[in-house]
Amino acid sequence: MTTFDAQTYQNEYLPRDGSEVNAIVTVTCSGGGGGAVVPVPQQRAEVIIVDVSGSMRHPMAKLRAARAATMAAIDCLPDGTLFGVVAGSSVARRVYPTEDKLVMASESTRKAAKESVAYLDAVGGTAIGRWLMEAYNWLTAYPDAIRHVLLLTDGRNEGETPEYLGAAIDLCRGVFQCDCRGIGTDWEVAELRRVSSALLGSVDIVARPEDLEADFRAVIRSALDRAVGDVKLRVRTPRGAGVTLVKQVAPSIEDLTDRGVLVDELTVDYPTGAWADERRDYHVRIDVPPGAPGDEMRAGQVSLVVDGEAQAPSPIRAVWTDDVALSTRINPEVAHYTGQAELAKAIETGLEAHRAGDDQTATSQLGRAAQLAAESGNDGTLRLLAAVVDITDATTGTVRLKRNIDAADEMALDTRSTKTVRVRPE
């Protein structure tokens, strides 16, 4: 039995003629207790995409690590899990099974799959869109399953046009979630983030081949923990009001605003993918008609949609007042996550400036990032920043750009810049 619960945190007071309502909605999915009870799907479908382009042989340790990690991931699949393995180069090839349907994991199929993976060799280029399409062709046959793809590459998508990749990504939206991993430092963070963001997954660097096996095991186990698939965040507003922002802000930042699907003229659904026992936080902003002191209204209602049914409703309120102390009070949850979003943007801008040779802007932005990370207690990001800049005083954002920045450290900061921390207790 799985349950959902939603709670809203906001300062509901607006000044005279105020029209912008901000709220943080915390959604918790758990295996029991109160809240809305939802059924647990029994079927899961996993596809592992392994880069076997020619660059995976340089050094050969990458290819050996990819084989070992894929076999380790296969071993993680419990009996009954549908699965398949794709080898990706200039084309996509089904390694196991080779037929049109995925196979169910069992002692014999896991053994056969690992034997096929053991003989993988590397030759050719990189065409990520074609790889995704091969997973799509397999997974569309299982609409009721929780569908997940783990994609590994070591290079840039030079075997096809950006437009083809974009079309493939668009076709895969809503069909499966995709976690992307880049091994080494010759791949593009923005390229894999484009895939993972659209397909509600994660992106990360595995700088050392010897770390790949543990990472693959962790990704597969996390995917298998998801018990409820295709959950949507529903926002309903009254007439005259409109949603201007829906952004996941914890455990990582993901803007969902442009992905809303209109249910009716007052209701919009936003995709959130599959859920395990976990908590996620969302920043919702709604524009409402201006009001006079004493007016109040329900500015919106957030709920979770599972199997077509809305669950765990949580209201968002608006109350107008002339009391400046009330209307200017900053809600700590909203303030915290606004700062986390600014932190991610400062890192993005700083790294872009560094790559462009603008060290002054890079230093300024990364210094601001260090300051925000220190203020919010985001120690993980602060440690990643310390590999790129020498931090003299984090509280004032005083930093100095390192003379020689390791490419792996810079990419680690880039890929993990959207990971957030939650509000610390007062």
Token pair 């932005």 in the structure block, residue: 365
Is there a contact between 337 and 281 (Cβ–Cβ < 8 Å)? yes
Domain 12-27+230-329 has CATH 2.60.40.3670: yes
Kindly report the number of other CB atoms within 10 A of residue 54's CB atom.
16
44-224 CATH: 3.40.50.410
Is there a contact between 284 and 23 (Cβ–Cβ < 8 Å)? yes
SS3 state of residue 223: helix
Q: List beta partners, residue 228.
A: 275
Burial tier of 158 (Cβ tally within 10 Å: 0-12, 13-18, 19+): exposed
Q: What is the pLDDT of residue 34?
A: 46
Residue type for 424, please?
R
| Kind of pairing between the strands at 146-153 and 44-51 | parallel
Is there a contact between 154 and 184 (Cβ–Cβ < 8 Å)? yes
* Chain region(s) in the chain for CATH 3.40.50.410: 44-224
| Kind of pairing between the strands at 2-9 and 36-38 | antiparallel
* Chain region(s) in the chain for CATH 2.60.40.3670: 12-27+230-329
> How far is 137 from 132, CA to CA, in rounded Å?
9
| Kind of pairing between the strands at 13-15 and 309-321 | parallel
Residue 145 vs residues 41, 98, 132: alpha-carbon distances, Å: 7, 20, 18
Token pair 């939650």 in the structure block, residue: 422
Structure tokens at 328: 């200017």
Write the DSSP symbol of residue 388: T
Is there a contact between 30 and 228 (Cβ–Cβ < 8 Å)? no
Q: What is the pLDDT of residues 364-407, one digit of tens each?
A: 999 999 999 999 999 999 999 999 999 999 999 999 999 999 99
SS3 state of residue 129: helix
Q: What is the pLDDT of residue 423?
A: 79
Residues 345-380: b if buried by 16+ CB within 10 A, e if exposed: bbbbbbbebbeeeeeeebbbbbbbbbbbbbebebee
DSSP-assigned letters across all residues of 24-44: EEEEEEESSSSSEEE-----E
Q: What is the pLDDT of residue 31?
A: 79
Q: What is the pLDDT of residue 33?
A: 45
Residues ≥6 apart with Cβ < 8 Å to 80: 42, 43, 104, 105
Q: What is the pLDDT of residue 168?
A: 98
Token pair 């009330």 in the structure block, residue: 326
* Chain region(s) in the chain for CATH 1.20.120.1690: 333-415
The dihedral formed by the CA atoms of 222, 223, 229 and 232, expressed in degrees to the nearest 10: 60
Kindly report the number of other CB atoms within 10 A of residue 306's CB atom.
22
Residues ≥6 apart with Cβ < 8 Å to 314: 6, 7, 8, 25, 301, 302, 303
pTM value? 0.94
Q: List beta partners, residue 252.
A: 419
Of 239, 338, 335, 336, whose CA–CA distance to 287 is shortest?
A: 239
Q: Hey, what CATH topology would domain 333-415 get?
A: Four Helix Bundle (Hemerythrin (Met), subunit A) (1.20.120)
Burial tier of 396 (Cβ tally within 10 Å: 0-12, 13-18, 19+): exposed
Q: What is the pLDDT of residues 48-84, one digit of tens each?
A: 999 999 999 999 999 999 999 999 999 999 999 999 9
Of 28, 7, 18, 45, whose CA–CA distance to 297 is shortest?
A: 18
> How far is 270 from 233, CA to CA, in rounded Å?
5
Residues ≥6 apart with Cβ < 8 Å to 102: 45, 47, 82, 83, 84, 138, 139, 141, 142
> How far is 262 from 260, CA to CA, in rounded Å?
6
- Low-confidence stretches of the chain (pLDDT < 50) are 33-35, 37, 40
